Amino acid sequence: NISDAASQWEDIKAIRVRKYSFKEENASSATQIGVIAQEVVAAGMAGLVYETPDQVTAEDGTIEDTGEVTKNMKYSILYMKAIKALQEAQTRIESLETLTESLTARLEALEGA
């Protein structure tokens, strides 16, 4: 089963690319670039996000869940959405180039008349 993907234009436009740092880095400024999973969910793309349980290592070496989760991105899917949106953008650019060429030719014809 193979078919063309639907438009990804609006989804990609809704995503904010951010600079950030992780809490455990204790950084004074942003050290990473990417998207914030919570913002992606809020934009209606919960399917791009998965959760992993936060864990700590106890004194005896066992790993225990903290009861909290960290949201993570499925970047491989986001990349495919971005490629599709890029293809759509290229089609729009080519249409505008064709229109510009046509309008330029008409203007030149009018100026020459």
- pLDDT tens figures, 13-64: 999 999 999 888 888 999 999 999 999 999 999 999 999 999 999 999 999 9
The pTM of this model reads: 0.78
The C-alpha atoms of residue 46 and residue 51 are separated, in whole angstroms, by 11
The answer to whether 21 touches 27, Cβ cutoff 8 Å, is yes
36/112: higher pLDDT: 36
The answer to whether 37 touches 49, Cβ cutoff 8 Å, is yes
